[in-house]
Copies of this chain bind each other. A is one copy, B any other.
Amino acid sequence: MRYASRMTTPSVPPFESLLSDRARIGWGFPVGTARPTVDALYEFGGGYPDPASFPYEGMVDATARMMQAEGAAAMTYGEPQGYRPLRELVCEKYAKFENMQAAPENIIVANGSGNALALAFSAFVDPGDAVIAEAPTFSGSLNTIRRHGPQILDAPVDDEGIVTDVVRVRLEALRAEGRRCKLIYTIVNFQNPAGPSQSLRRREELVALAGEFDTLILEDDAYGELRFEGETLPPLYALDREGRVIRAGTLSKILGAGVRLGWLCAPREMIPAFQGFLFGGGVSPFMSRVATYYLRDHMVEHVHRLIDVYRAKRDAMLRGLDEVLAGSGAQISRPEGGFFVWIRLPAGTDPRRLAELATQARVQYTPGPAFFASGGGEPFIRLAFSYEPPEKCYEGARLLARAILAARRT
């Protein structure tokens, strides 16, 4: 405790009155701690990738090859927009998995997609501005949006994804007030947490709405390649003809979150606006190269292997839930890909009682309210099937399902 001994300890630290307005948002709430703390035997809380599938030897080999080929460039400052071969790789990925065309000039590399989304919010959102987001939406993104201080207007999600009729209502209401929506934030594939993929009709409507109301769309897609079944639909970015769509992506789910490599894909004229908020001159040239050298040789085979891995986990979790919850009134999502199952609890379930019982069973999950910007969500929970092996997905799902049945108010 060296630190404590050298400091006088005033009851209110002197810096608090000097904090910025943005720093005061959510002050005191540690980041990312929406989940109850469980010494989990069944980790269904965060969207953690499968640790057994990381390419350990491949990364070591890629490091050695990369340092041999271009070590000096890996150890010094790089392009602020990001290592060009990584940007080329992202374009290749888009072409292979989604038949989408983009050029390296459209890509800016960021420290994970969380940082990428923050670049977009920093570039376009001032405190008090209006943005539209899905309800529910990814809790981590909500933290990022809130930090930028906008008014968040909800749009619900149904089986076809974001309900565009409600988006129109929101946009018209803003127009009536003489205001503009700065951007519409949407998760297009295997929506996190609710599960549906946006239908083609909705995609086209959303892009048309952005044009009609002169706003932008921030299209988040962290899981798109991990499709177990069903048809891959065109990204909003590919449907856009006016330069209104910014697309965020990441290597976290197909390579590993530990590399912290994400990006925005956007009209090239926008890139400098994002780059201005990437303080420090671009993302790690070393890390970018290691990831690129690995994926350049292994991307397609590795993704196909991951699809099999995660499909088996999803199936195991759904089987466990179905066996126990059939007839209970619980509504369980059937995602065609990604990492998550979303459950509407049977009527009369006590969320607090469920949290207690799940803690006893050592099952970690994320309560629904974390995903709603404007309150609500108590009847929902999100389970991640990504981390645990299939046996534990099955077992843990059964344990949690029993807890759900036991948590009904009597």
Q: Which residues of A contact B (CB under 8 A)?
A: 1-3, 6-8, 10, 13-15, 17-23, 25-28, 30-32, 46, 48-49, 51, 54, 56-57, 59-60, 63-64, 67, 71-78, 80, 101-103, 105-106, 110-118, 122-126, 129, 140, 144, 147, 180, 182-183, 214-216, 241-244, 255-260, 262, 267-270, 272-273, 275-277, 279-287, 290
Write the chain B residue with the least CB distance to A106. B3
- A72 near B54 with CB under 8 A, answer yes
Tell which of B20, B57, B103, B182 touches A126, judged by Cβ atoms closer than 8 Å. Answer: B20
Does the CB pair B114–A279 fall under 8 Å?
yes
Cα A115 to Cα B119 with chains together (Å): 13
CB distance from A397 to the nearest CB of B (A): 22
Partner of A122, one of B8, B20, B64, B275: B20
8 contacts between A and B (CB under 8 A): A15-B216, A18-B180, A21-B126, A54-B76, A63-B64, A74-B258, A113-B280, A260-B284
Q: Which residues of B contact A277 (CB under 8 A)?
A: 22-23, 147
Closest CB of chain B to A150's CB: distance in Å?
10
Interchain nearest-CB distance for A5 vs B (Å):
9
On chain B, the residues within 8 Å of A276 by CB distance are 22-23, 25-27, 31, 147
Q: Are B67 and A60 in contact (CB under 8 A)?
A: yes
Partner of A60, one of B27, B63, B267, B281: B63
Whether B244 pairs with A258 at a CB distance below 8 angstroms is: no
B residues less than 8 Å from A22 (CB atoms):
122, 126, 276-277
Instruction: Kindly state the separation between the CA atoms of A144 and B122 in the bound complex, as whole angstroms.
Output: 14
